[in-house]
A and B are shown apart, each in its own frame.
Chain A
């Protein structure tokens, strides 16, 4: 695998956790009950911690002296490599937890495989992150089932969230040349195989949650390649990067 491809591959993991971590942190102080507020903030914290590992390694691989902070705070939207799903707005609590579940399920499958990566530094990060993500998945899965198979109101909101977010599911497991190169080199998993397991698990769980998967499998793409991010990413960056843009080099 070419060095630049490996760099791009690592940015995908780091940008997924960075952007989702930031999104989830937007709930801090706003969640419906205190326990959920704490749960969301803790999830965001884990994701930002994982970001430091992924982007730290990405910076090392790139070899231009950029730190995890430089990569997080000083790139513009077109250089981000997260999937479109994680940059979608929070919406209501149900929509946030549906987004979390759709991502956690994929994240857990991929991290499990990455523990066998031929690149030992990737395997180490995956081993660490996997324990945290399994816990996230447990919670988002239980919450999606509870709200889906809940009241008429919660069911309707969860179905609306699924309908809204389902077109962003396909991008995660649709391999492009970088994913294929990573798989070829023994560094990353076979995404086609991940996709099969993902869809089987998703279908089972939506049955439990009494929710109906949309029939149309159209997938929006362009996040992980950086070609077409949604308009939401730029708005996230204006908030997330504001301090470093206004006061370059400011430190804690």
Chain B
């Protein structure tokens, strides 16, 4: 029996439906952690890079990706971890950045801190902590609306 291999564009589109387990408004594709999708013979190989080396979401993400692809009929599948080049927030998609901000998380910024408050757009901001609720975030506060917010660390 010959099973048709799903086109790679479809695979990417399916992966773009898999949410990040910690920040469900963005997909694993938006996050920039899917480094490659290719066929090795009949086996689909998905290369994933971890955001932070100890991020507990990494194994959940691998399970979610496998489940999503199997649900689409991809049975011959291998996930690979690729640590180099190391993940950088430069790989976040523009769509992902916009979704983060709409969700209340300030997107990463090379200046080392957020541009504006994701709630009110104010620019008078202060850092509360270099770390936050997940390894990829820090805590900031807006001095205009007084709301605290998460900032996606720029690395």
A131 to B108, CA, bound (A): 15
Contact B129 A39 (CB under 8 A): yes
Complex partner residue of A132 from B53, B128, B132, CB under 8 angstroms: B53
Complex partner residue of A128 from B56, B84, B132, B153, CB under 8 angstroms: B84
Residue among B56, B84, B85, B155 with the most chain A CB within 10 A?
B84
Say what secondary structure dominates the interface of chain A: helix
- Interface size for B (C-beta < 8 A) is 21
Contact B54 A47 (CB under 8 A): yes
A138 to B83, CA, bound (A): 23
Residue among A43, A48, A128 with the most chain B CB within 10 A?
A128
Contact B86 A131 (CB under 8 A): yes
Given that A38-B133, A48-B54, A50-B53 are contacting pairs, would A127 and B155 also be in contact in the complex, using a CB cutoff of 8 Å?
A: no
- Interface size for A (C-beta < 8 A) is 26
For the complex formed, measure the closest distance between the CB of A34 and the CB atoms of chain B, giving whole angstroms.
Answer: 8
A125, CB-defined interface residue at 8 Å: yes
B52, CB-defined interface residue at 8 Å: yes
Complex partner residue of A46 from B87, B135, B139, CB under 8 angstroms: B135
Residues of A within 8 A of B135 (CB): 42, 45-46
Contact B86 A49 (CB under 8 A): no
A139, CB-defined interface residue at 8 Å: yes
A227 to B148, CA, bound (A): 50
Contact B155 A125 (CB under 8 A): no
Can you list 10 contacts pairing A with B, beta carbon distance less than 8 Å? A35-B129, A35-B131, A36-B129, A39-B130, A49-B54, A127-B84, A127-B85, A132-B52, A135-B155, A138-B130
Interface residues of B (CB under 8 A from A): 50, 52-56, 83-87, 128-133, 135, 139, 153, 155
Interface residues of A (CB under 8 A from B): 35-36, 38-39, 42-43, 45-50, 52-53, 123-125, 127-132, 135, 138-139
Given A42-B132, A132-B53, 6 additional A-B pairs, CB 8 A: A35-B129, A38-B131, A39-B131, A45-B135, A131-B155, A132-B52
